[in-house]
């Protein structure tokens, strides 16, 4: 329950930051190389899981 509340608070905070950036005519921050690499690894693991190459355990 508390993790869900924390999630909602984080989303509200993110929304406020995006709104401020929008009103200031600023774009979203560009993703850093490290963030892109981590996201690709996560997507690769997800694809391998759904293809049945790996399992959760």
Does the model's pTM come out above 0.75?
A: no
SS3 state at 22: helix
Note whether residue 55 is domain-resident. Answer: no
Note whether residue 41 is domain-resident. Answer: yes
pLDDT (tens digit, 9 = 90+) per residue, 2-57? 888 888 898 999 889 888 888 888 766 777 888 889 999 999 999 999 999 988 87
The Cβ-side half-sphere exposure at 51, using a 13 Å CA radius, reads 7
Note whether residue 57 is domain-resident. Answer: no
Q: How many domains does the chain have?
A: 1
């Amino acid at each position: 329950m508390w993790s869900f509340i924390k999630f909602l608070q984080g989303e509200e905070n993110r929304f406020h930051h995006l709104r401020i950036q929008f009103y200031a005519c600023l774009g979203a921050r560009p993703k850093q190389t490290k963030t892109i690499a981590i996201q690709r690894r996560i997507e690769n693991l997800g694809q391998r899981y759904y293809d049945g190459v790996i399992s959760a355990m």
